[in-house]
Structure 1
């Protein structure tokens, strides 16, 4: 009986000790968990894991290898994206702002690295030198970067572009060539841009630049009704011509003679081309003169009383050419005059054939140059839209000649060569954006959604795009 009581007491003692130990151990575990910093590996982004192992120090992102980016805490996949973006922007990062745009670098990660990045805050044509890491600009990169960096406009407040010189546009941020072309366009309009609408239509002014300038331009919004190019010049020359008319023979009147009658240089050249090539050297009657499209009915009525058609001069020009040893040239002209323009392809027409049709040399050169830049005309409207071309004569040409677009080389936006994108008139202003986005979205539709061009510009681009 005594043995049984002792065994029960020992049993109770052991159970109580075990229970107390369990409670004490559980309390210790609970206390430690409350005082330890919480770790949430499920919420930890993978790009930060490695950065804890390698202390941060100043670095030049243009000199980092793949291993260097990994040591900064990026995964191999993110590193590949960063290096691809580096190639897209020209082979080197130009600023912290540019690097920040890389979508593989989260805003949080960029904030962590920003203080250690050896790059200027914003891009510039030349880099600052940093003693830490020995970072300096390289001449090779400077040249390469020109392709990608767009110069920001400096707008001097409210301004009237009619009063701007080449130097004024250059100071604003345009190149000298662009400024010269803008002024040529103004002269074509008659010496004034007339309206914001016409100013915006200048092909040298991009949509982005126009949006920046629009609030400051001192011009009316819309073009006056019944406006025609160079109308100011026409009225001026006509008034001068009224006081200078004298009797003249249109078959012996030279280039300067037609100018003195109130015609522009371009018009005078067209009249001579029409007389010497289309009519083989001479006007035979008043109807032939009136049929020259640069001589308006009003102008014809003004000069008609002073014209004398002397039959003795009806082939004077041809005979002079023969006497001056121009027999071969005369023969060539007569052969050229027989060109059947209904069989001519507008994508193959030559400089000589255009001059034969009546275009002056400058217009012919402008049209062929535009055709070359486009890689061929995709529709006839492009011919009419050629800068500084005689639109009435162009209308007559496209009504007669045919247009074969079958030889135009087309690409998709994902495989178009960079050089082609940057030089083509319809793509060059969006080239950088296209090159950037197609590295991740090689699809025409997605790329168009990204670059956000106007519908009419997208329609022009699609003339030279192959289907995906």
Structure 2
């Protein structure tokens, strides 16, 4: 009898111990802060962007924009939660899988009104949801930029379609390959398919045919990219629009000249494959580079404040438009940089060029707004990149415990998260 009672007590204690362990793990998980969201792209410099409606994209198309599988899942779940459709850029921006830097890079390409008020009033501020108009069958290999625009695509979308054709070797080859073009969503493909004069399936010798097309049609020769004109770039297989884009990039972004072959590689209309084809023929003349270096002396960057540096000055220093926009957007979201290391975490920037800027320019943090956790406005907490994942907890805890030390203790943050949050607290 005693043995039976003894084992019964032991079993009861075991069950109680298991329950306490499970409860402890649950509490720990519940208080754990959100992980930092990072966008990973093995080839950010070659990311091709064009106009898109986030409501139309499938998983593969989200991947094309640089999102990971987990981030895509979060975006799609968020879309379901808000009713199955993004109604505005403002709504899309609130998805926590879309970082401020990523949103800054995508914003100008999103085919949505700015906010919900614009949706209701019809004031879409330039937003235009296009419909395709087709009246007869056509061979897409023969369609020009204007032809695609007349069908119903935007100019940027038309450029992307033509670039994709160039990537394939000058021909869409088949409906199957045409369907793989990033900008052709499933709905538009179904509309276009009956009108396309293309075979249904891709030929088994497709790769060989692309290679032979390129070798027969394009003849490279030694050239200085700083003196090559529109016709010269076109002779290398670029369309009128692509050739003009390269020249504009050289004249506007780089102030008149390429400094190195890497500058050419960074131009978004030149694919990695195309650059490798041209690379052996590039002959940079030092005389044409000097002009660009002298022009860069307009701004003394040793006197520039990183919290006040303009988009135009970043372009002058050597950043491309996407990188400059990302840095300005990230700074605005933070309310100003507190230390230079933060700038290196900006999405879509050239790390080496950024380090050069950081070693040259100054950083004045006197105008950066800081708060205590008990005084911080709710809107500031919910929108600040470092605080938004803990905003609800902070607002909850400070109601009954208006003491910063206690709130920090209750948050139970990872050291690295707390460290960066404290940059913006008094």
TM-score where L is the length of structure 2: 0.43
Higher Rg: 1
Higher relative contact order (CA 8 A, sep 6+): 2
